[in-house]
Amino acid sequence: MKQELEKAISMAISTGKVKIGYSATIKSVLSGKVKATLISNNIPLDSKKILLRNCELSQIPVIEYEKSGFDLGAVCGRPHIVSTLAILNPGNSKILDFI
């Protein structure tokens, strides 16, 4: 299941439209144009509460990634920690199946 999710994340990044990082994700959630958000397991608690509350109010589903932000960054092809992603368009990926 984890590998399938990681493949779906990579495919969404390469074929869809994704915002990477907390600031970009929260702005996208507030705009209401997000199909789903993905959060790592070590996102700071305050940030997680704010993001989850805004997703709940906007009825945006949240996918919890069971690994750290460092691992999520590696899946995204980034050399740094990535705590959140906003999926604006899943492209050819099946990431929305993980909701």
pLDDT tens per residue, range 17-42: 999 999 999 999 998 889 999 999 99
- Quick check: 86 pLDDT over 90? yes
Q: Could you report the per-residue pLDDT of 68-82, keeping only the tens digit for each?
A: 999 998 888 888 999
Q: What is the CATH number of domain 2-98?
A: 3.30.1330.30
Q: Give the residue extent of every domain in the chain.
A: 2-98
pTM of the model: 0.86
Order the strands of the 17-20 sheet from edge to edge.
17-20, 84-89, 36-39, 62-64
The pLDDT score that the predictor gives to residue 53 is 94
> Would you place residue 50 in the very low, low, confident or very high pLDDT band (cuts 50, 70, 90)?
very high
Q: What is the mean pLDDT of the chain?
A: 90
Pairing of strands 36-39, 17-20: unpaired
| Whole-number Å distance between alpha carbons of 15 and 70 | 22
- Quick check: 2 pLDDT over 80? no
